[in-house]
Amino acid sequence: MNHFNKTSRVKVDTSPLLEAFSRIVHMKDQKLLQENANVDGRSPCGLMNKIASESTKFFSKEYLLSDEAAIALKENIIYPHDLDYYPTGTTTCCQIPIDELLKNGFNSGHGFMRTPSDITSALALTTIIFQSNQNMQHGGQSIPCFDFSLAPYVRKTFGKIRKKIVRYLPTTLSQEELNAIAWQETEEITFQACEAFIHNLNSMHSRGGGQTPFTSINYGTDTSHEGRMLIKNLLKATIAGLGHGETPIFPIQVFKLKKGVNFNKEDLNYDLYQLALQTTAKRLFPNFSFIDSSFNLDYYDAHNPETEAAYMGCRTRVMSNRHGDETSIGRGNLSFTSINLVKLALLSKSIKDFFARLEFYVDIVTRQLYERFLFQGNKQALDFNFLYSQGVWRGGKSLKPDSKLHDILKQGTLSVGFIGLAECLTSLTGKHHGESTNSWKLGMKIISFMRGKMDKASEMYDLNFTLIATPAEGLSGKFVKNDQESFGKLTNITDRAYYTNSFHIPVHYRIKAMDKIRLEGPFHELCNAGHITYIELDGDVQHNLSALDDIIKAMADHQIGYGSINHPVDQCQACGYQGIIEHTCPKCQNGNQSLITRIRRITGYLVGDMDKWNDAKKSEEKSRTKHGV
């Protein structure tokens, strides 16, 4: 396909681009500057990147998208995510095989890093790997088996310490006494290493200094002594927080729950699960994934941790694979494009008409994703040196510098996403799926239809087409703003500043936690590229861990794949007080809002400065109601 011969668009109107440049340079548009709350859009690097972003989006729309995709985008019906990165040919994200990189050493571009000899250096190198790979991809980076992969370096630390003890302490000590002293010191060093790891991930920057690396780690199922020690101290370091007790934003932590491992009181890692509850009650992380959910259990082999489903950041999940091992490791999403379900409903004269329109646009998006895959596959390995030559992406090490990427990228996923199921159902039936059983059934029919189309596309193209519950940050506001211009402000459809994310019950709708879990659970299996369910709690939950446990167990019962619990986490920077702060600090009476940090979850990640949120997400956060337990 010739991407540079768009005869239907000979004259290119550059005035919208120049207008966007002006709004950026003069900092007149918060929504434009802060589409992503993890990027400091007002910094010099942020401004430069935003100008570049608007330029490459413009180029992609005019010269890389097919005519049918460009028209659908202009119609406000589809949106190819990370359109600014389209010309680079990069992929969205990857689950990093950290054990291989640490075991074999790696080259970050400025010299070779040899195998670490203890947990301190291993975790330091892990942060470097995160930072190096962040510059290769436009999305997030994750480690799927953090405990299994890093535990050997806790054991190495123990070995080094024990040798020192034997050398310097009396030989009258028994083997048990030697080991006990060595393990005690190993634990102290492990805590310090975890503390440094968290501090580093919240202070280092990538992409020219404009963004903290978007990092995630999955853990909780390693029952070895060293694996348990690592996670216990990681959780303790998370509870301790940053230098002034601030809540760490990264890494996004995912605690993997599995019956027989950590789910029940008799399980060996049950104490780690309890510590995870304590941690999330104070710090909002970890989130929780559920290996026993049927669609995750299908891949599970108790003897191989690489078969445990792992999640990334906001929700991304990569497991099925037509071209290799069915594991998340060394794989990720190639690209995804979302569909505006609300506008399709508003245009439709009947439910039958809606499904006809939905099929038409799903097919357009499928072709667009395939065309983008061909464009990505035509790039060379040397264009992404760390990602491929160092073996981050599965099969990358086998490539020569001038090798094309097509064959190894086939192991990634191409995903269709969706926004606004709730408003879509309200338009079609008068009620959303939290209000009406009939609307819920129609919602299931709609998402089942989309999943079926992805399964058929996988067969047709022999690629991993999947369905994702879109983590809409900037897009939730973009879609509705444009639809308001066409349809006005329709009650409970277009009358807010945002559309509801994916299949979620609207945040403003009052519903009990257990009912929300029950209604959203069945959608998780359909969205095989990623999904998440949130529960909003009120007040300080640190003294009510049993309520958190009840919610997590309910998620497990209702086939949730990935879930998290939101609650207020505030801190007064004047005196350090942590807790719920309404208007003034209850300890020092500080009422200066600029000195009060309010940690909230924006999609799947945390942001401590809500000034960096775009207007749509600010409005959505204000609308969030609490879910009674």
Evaluate if residue 328 carries a pLDDT over 60.
yes
Q: How far apart are alpha carbons 466 and 322 in whole angstroms?
A: 12
- Among 152-161, 297-306, 568-577, the range scoring the smallest mean pLDDT is 568-577
Q: How confident is the model at residue 301 (pLDDT cuts 50, 70, 90)?
A: very high
User: Which of the residue ranges 34-48, 286-300, 313-327, 609-623 would you say has the lowest mean pLDDT?
Assistant: 34-48
Predicted pLDDT at 36: 56
CB neighbour list of residue 97: distance below 8 Å, 6 or more residues apart: 329, 330, 391, 392, 394
**Cα gap 195→179, rounded to integer Å:** 24
Tell me the average pLDDT across 606-629.
68
pLDDT confidence bin for 1, thresholds 50/70/90: very low
HSE value, Cβ hemisphere, 13 Å, CA-based, for 303: 0
Is residue 332 within 8 Å of residue 93, measured between CB atoms? Answer: yes
> Which value, to the nearest 10 degrees, does the dihedral of the CA atoms of residues 309, 314, 320, 325 take?
-60
- Percentage of residues in the chain with pLDDT exceeding 90? 73
Going by C-alpha positions, the residue among 333, 345, 472 that lies closest to residue 77 is: 345
Query: In terms of Cα–Cα distance, which of 562, 547, 526 is closest to 417?
Result: 526
Q: How confident is the model at residue 38 (pLDDT cuts 50, 70, 90)?
A: low
Q: Catalogue all structural domains in the chain, each as residue range(s) with its CATH number.
A: 1-64 (no CATH), 94-312 (3.20.70.20), 568-628 (no CATH)
pLDDT band for position 611 (50/70/90)?
Answer: low
Angle at 616 between CA 481 and CA 80, to 5 degrees: 65
Distance, CA of 392 to CA of 330 (rounded, Å): 6
Q: 217, 255 in Cβ contact below 8 A?
A: no
Strand pairing category for 94-95 and 569-572: unpaired
Rounded to whole angstroms, the Cα distance separating 73 from 482 reads 11
Higher-confidence residue: 209 or 442? 442
622 against 593, higher pLDDT: 593
Mean pLDDT of 278-302: 97
The two tokens of residue 614 are 């775009």
Q: What is the mean pLDDT of the chain?
A: 91
Question: Crossing angle, helix 351-377 and helix 437-461, to 10 degrees?
Answer: 40
170-204 per-position pLDDT tens digit: 778 899 999 999 999 999 999 999 999 999 999 88
Of residues 426 and 32, more confidence is placed in 426
Would you call 566 helix, strand, or coil by DSSP? strand
Instruction: Answer yes or no: is pLDDT of 310 > 50.
Output: yes
Summarize the confidence of residues 56-61 as an average pLDDT: 91
Which candidate, 123, 7, 138, 119, places its Cα nearest to that of 63? 7
Could you give the percent of the chain with pLDDT greater than 70?
90
d(C-alpha 430, C-alpha 427), whole Å: 6
Residue type, 49: N
CB 449 within 8 A of CB 354: no
pTM: 0.91
d(CA 485, CA 489): 9
